[in-house]
Structure 1
Amino acid sequence: MSTIAICTFFIITAMAALLSWRGTRTAKPATLTGLFLGNRNLGFVAVGSGLLFANINTTSFIGENELTFTNNMSVMAWGVTSVVVMMVVAEFILPIYLKTGISTTPDFLEARYDRSTKTIVSLIFLVNYIVNLLPSVLYGAAVALEGLFGVSAALGIGYWPAIWLLVALMGAAGTLFSLRSGLKGMTVSGTVLGFAMFTGGLLLPYFALQHLGGGSWETGLQTILTTHTEKFNAIGGRGDAIPFSTIFTGMLLVNLYYWSTEQYIVQQALGSKDLASCQKGMALAGLGKLILPLLLNIPGIIAAHVYVSLPNSTTAFSTLLRDVSPPVYTGFMAALLFGASLTTFIAGVNSSGTLYMLNLRKQSPEANNLRTARRFEVLLCASAVCIAPFIHFTQGGLYTWLQKIGALFSVPIFTIMVVGFLTRRVPPVAAKAGLLFFITCYALSQFIVNTGIHFLHVLAILFVATVALMLFIGWRRPMGTPFVLQTHNLVEVTPWKYRRIASITLAAMVVALYWLFSAGGLAA
């Protein structure tokens, strides 16, 4: 354990905490709107940073680099293809949310179907956060910090006890920050992290190439461009982690759900001061997603050249970072990873509190509401801490496992949202039947019956089947009064005039990136 790296980690973390505190010290949440939505006054930089860093955490660094290390660049599809989806959501979905003045995505389901549908979906969200999102964020951060600092060796304890210790410390830090600052504090810390990541953070590939090239980054670059070039191929085949065809089936659905329906993501946009800021923030986050392969995937490729094999492929990123970087930079990156995970964790906790307080609990005086919200967040964090270490025993790669489990909760919700958006007479009973059918069939296909079909293709098949089921019920038992969307603007909803130019530019960059990482580009 390097003393210099540890000192750097604590100094950078303290500086980031100080900057976040200075940005929120005069805006301590006094209401639920302040705690959960930042008083709906966030600018586009805050929105974009919040969106990006609610989405990116240590699990992303660990999981994507692990799959790149063991497979190839096909895993970049999760982030890169989502950029096109983000622009679609910014153009068509977010304006509806802001026009209706909702605070949570299940609010739309209550207006479209009924109160019980909203309650069921809110519970599904909370279960997903408790058993999947929050534990995975804590576990990913713990694995990274253990790999970088060797906590188990330094303290003379086993690997799993060290993970327990780090998970508990992360959970405590995230809980305290969430209780103190709410969404506003998270967006400020996200802005600080964004600056740090896209300046110093991008030096990691340079240090890794320099190490591979024996002191010359040019030699290291030549090495990865001329040996094992199949690692650069993002056009995944049947045996790869992400077959290319899945981009147009289940992955499309997962990304559409994630950026249009996932509460802890959408909540960043709902805090915008106006629609233009919301759309600009989404475009800024999309640009960040196109740069991130330099940190989420390229280190995995370099690690495949540096190490013949690793005892645990999950440690590919943290092992490379520790071995190739100067101690000061190792500490800097550790602080960055810690902060990114903390931001996602806080986003999840904050959104869970929003769902519980606004959708499930009967309202009381404001002071009591805040007290209840904070107590619930503490209980939620404690539950996540208890679950997180057991992710160590999952099979098939951390990132794939988490995406597979997340889909159990996510795509069924997205399916009933889509039918709700596109139809006017499909009744509430169809939404409930659709949720039950989708969740049951998907669980059977993944955990009981081996279909031999990639889980993303299974999602697409069940999406079509569930939509057909809901339309059939709507045909047989239509609503007596067709649904009419009610608007209740709480912010200015004039669109950003350059949004379409930004969307076309980002889409072209996605295509260019896929050409670069293909048999016609670097994988030749």
Structure 2
Amino acid sequence: MVWTNLVFYCFRKERRDPLIIVLSFIAFTGLVALLSWYKTREDNLSTKEGYFLAGRGLSGLVIAGSLEMTNLSTEQLVGQAGQSYSTNMGAMSWSVGASMALLALALIFLPKYLKAGITTIPEFLEMRFDRTTKQIISFLFLLGYMLTYLPTVLYSGALAFNQIFHLDQVLGITTFQAIALLCAGIGIVGSIYAVFGGLKAVAVSDTINGVGLLIGGLLVPILAICILGNGNFIAGIRDFITNVPSDKFNSINPANSLPPMIPWPVLFLGMLFNNLFYWCTNQSIIQRTLAAKNLGQAQRGAVFTAFLKLLDPFFITICGLLAFRFFGDKLPQSDLAYPTLITTVIPTWLLGLMAAVLFGAILSSFNSALNSCVTLYTLDFHRAIINKTASDEYLVKIGKRVGTGLAIVSICVAPFVINAPSGLYDFLQECFGFYSMPILATVLVGFYTKRVPAIAPKVTLVTHVVLYSISKFLPLHVHYLYVLSVLFPIDLLLMLVIGKLKPRETDFELEDSKAVDLTPWKHVKPAAALCFVLMLCIYALFSPLGLAR
């Protein structure tokens, strides 16, 4: 194909000038910052809703871009590609399976959240149960973000940047020291967006970076395949499929698989439960949809994101297999697969733009989670406990101070993620397991029961943490997602039993807060059905029915 040859040779033209890399990186990063400032320069950030919920004015497209970029950072790019490099395409289930959870978000969770008019998920739990439940869940979210999620995002980004710019070699320092420096730099810039710009600045920068990431992300496998075909894309695909073992293309793993592989039964159990927690109750995700203009726009955003997640295998997971084709099993660490592939296939003159795109992805996840932390602390702790009469302007000021402190803690913790035993992606998911299932169970029970009392989520949370901790010390030799598959039904059953034995005195009724228009998007069900069919087609492609023959 003539056009692929032309593009290939254009992009492979080398200009080994480090100054071009640095200047293009600064130019794109500065452009995003400038556009984000321009779009938010007249926004009122002195009010609670203006700062924490973007004035409840986000459209479906902005929500979709922000949701995708909040989720899609270097812990996804590096971690998921690293998983597929060391195993097979089974790692794509984290993304493709997310589509089901996003459809559930649009059809089940959002109508109830927006009816309640909440700012945080714990705020709903206070309505349904009590203030103590809200504060416990808020604390768990804060702890999880500060000690696991934010550090993992910073570490994965630093790992990729060190592989691109070789900071350790340039400065003559160790890899650990280089990663620590990069974590600090990324954390400081991300904090500026989240702490001083509020949710609107985060969402706008996410959308702009999202366009760059989709283009740059797709460019990596396209160029890699062109290189394999010596400029011919079709020949490159033939080479790729022929020289990579067929079992690497399989996304359906045996039932007894252990991490980092994903056994097929958990696709309908533990992984589904985990995705429902992440996409339907996780504050850093939900906050974008709570800021929607109305229910219809929120549903559009969730469904659009579900379609975007179906693209992830073709520019994230597949990169692990491409790295295997280029390097075999010679890489010293699976998490180096993606950054090493980038430096191999992206021409030097384009590395600056690619680095800027990755930088945007890192900032997106980091500043989104940091903004959510600030929201949780300010509204669920400071106003509720420390200063009940605080004005919105004062709360925003406190939020900025807290965000700065949380960023500093995360920067300090981030370099030590290098010690994660089974790769950073599994490390992150296993950490979520300590509190994810009881939070999901509490929200669902809150939706669909009227008499379960406030003591139920507290007992369930303690029981879950104890059982999950015990599972880490027992020689079970089973995948941790199987553990979640068992614990989630136990969490639900325990809450329902407590509700039968000690029901609350009055029925709970969720009242309409009138915060936004609750008219649903008229195409939400057909769009959800189409997304589900496409998801099945992708699984068929990466299975013994397709490429894994």
**Structure 2 length-normalised TM:** 0.93
Q: 1:162 to 1:183 in 2, by over 3 A?
A: same
The number of aligned residues is: 523
Tell me the residue number matched to 2:271: 251
CA contact (8 A) 2:111 2:295 kept: yes
Tell me the residue number matched to 2:512: 487
Q: What's the CA shift string for 1:38-81, capped at 9, x where partnerless?
A: 00011111111111111110110000000110100001001101
Further displaced range: 286-295 or 119-128: 286-295
Further displaced range: 81-90 or 71-80: 81-90
The partner residue of 2:288 within 265, 268, 271 is 268
Name the SS of the counterpart of 1:416 in structure 2.
helix
Residue 454 (1) aligns with residue 470 (2):
no
Q: What's the CA shift string for 1:182-207, capped at 9, x where partnerless?
A: 11011111111222223343111111
Residue 435 (1) aligns with residue 464 (2):
no
Tell me the residue number matched to 1:239: 257
Tell me the residue number matched to 1:116: 132
Q: Distance in 1 between matches of 2:65 and 2:490?
A: 37
1:224 CA drift (Å): 1.6
Name the SS of the counterpart of 1:297 in structure 2.
helix
Tell me the residue number matched to 1:411: 437
Tell me the residue number matched to 1:302: 322
Q: What's the CA shift string for 1:380-407, capped at 9, x where partnerless?
A: 0001001100000110111111111112
Matched letter for residue 519 of structure 1: P
Tell me the residue number matched to 1:326: 347
1:2 CA drift (Å): 3.7
The partner residue of 2:229 within 213, 216, 239 is 213
Tell me the residue number matched to 2:336: 315
The partner residue of 2:399 within 373, 383, 386 is 373
Name the SS of the counterpart of 2:434 in structure 1.
helix
Matched letter for residue 376 of structure 1: V
CA contact (8 A) 1:211 1:220 kept: yes
Q: Distance in 1 between matches of 2:396 and 2:198?
A: 11
Matched letter for residue 229 of structure 1: S
Superposition pairs of residues 181-192 of structure 1, within 5 angstroms:
181-192=197-208
Residue 20 (1) aligns with residue 36 (2):
yes
Matched letter for residue 284 of structure 2: Y
The partner residue of 1:341 within 357, 362, 365 is 362
Q: Distance in 1 between matches of 2:160 and 2:166?
A: 10
Q: Distance in 1 between matches of 2:204 and 2:451?
A: 43
Tell me the residue number matched to 1:292: 312
Tell me the residue number matched to 1:511: 536
Q: Distance in 1 between matches of 2:323 and 2:346?
A: 13
Q: Distance in 1 between matches of 2:419 and 2:230?
A: 37
CA contact (8 A) 1:2 1:149 kept: no
1:17 CA drift (Å): 1.5
CA contact (8 A) 2:228 2:240 kept: no
Superposition pairs of residues 391-406 of structure 1, within 5 angstroms:
391-406=417-432
Q: Distance in 2 between matches of 1:44 and 1:466?
A: 34
Matched letter for residue 207 of structure 1: L
CA contact (8 A) 2:437 2:491 kept: no
Name the SS of the counterpart of 1:361 in structure 2.
helix
Residue 101 (1) aligns with residue 101 (2):
no
Q: Distance in 2 between matches of 1:219 and 1:3?
A: 35
1:312 CA drift (Å): 1.8
Structure 1 residue ranges, 4+ long, deviating more than 6 angstroms after superposition: none
CA contact (8 A) 1:28 1:180 kept: no
Further displaced range: 4-13 or 477-486: 4-13
Please list every run of 5 or more consecutive structure 2 residues that lacks an aligned counterpart in the other structure. 1-16
CA contact (8 A) 1:102 1:108 kept: yes
Q: Distance in 1 between matches of 2:123 and 2:367?
A: 22
Q: Distance in 1 between matches of 2:475 and 2:143?
A: 25
Name the SS of the counterpart of 1:234 in structure 2.
coil
Matched letter for residue 500 of structure 1: K
Tell me the residue number matched to 2:501: 476
Q: Distance in 2 between matches of 1:184 and 1:209?
A: 38
Q: What's the CA shift string for 1:426-457, capped at 9, x where partnerless?
A: 111111000000111112212x2222221111
Please list every run of 5 or more consecutive structure 1 residues that lacks an aligned counterpart in the other structure. none
CA contact (8 A) 2:438 2:457 kept: no
Q: Distance in 2 between matches of 1:33 and 1:337?
A: 30
Name the SS of the counterpart of 2:310 in structure 1.
helix
Q: What's the CA shift string for 1:238-281, capped at 9, x where partnerless?
A: 33611111111111111111111100100000000011100111
CA contact (8 A) 1:35 1:182 kept: yes
Q: What's the CA shift string for 1:80-102, capped at 9, x where partnerless?
A: 01112211221111011111111
Matched letter for residue 481 of structure 1: T
1:130 CA drift (Å): 0.6
The partner residue of 2:54 within 38, 47, 55 is 38
Q: What's the CA shift string for 1:325-368, capped at 9, x where partnerless?
A: 11233222211111011011111111111111111112412322
Tell me the residue number matched to 1:83: 99
Q: Distance in 2 between matches of 1:239 and 1:120?
A: 34
1:292 CA drift (Å): 1.8
Matched letter for residue 507 of structure 1: F
Identity of aligned residues (%): 37
Q: Distance in 2 between matches of 1:462 and 1:311?
A: 35
1:31 CA drift (Å): 1.4
**Structure 1 length-normalised TM:** 0.97
The partner residue of 1:384 within 410, 415, 432 is 410
Q: What RMSD, in angstroms, separates the aligned Cα atoms of the two structures?
A: 1.4
1:304 CA drift (Å): 0.4
Q: Distance in 2 between matches of 1:90 and 1:480?
A: 32
CA contact (8 A) 1:322 1:330 kept: yes
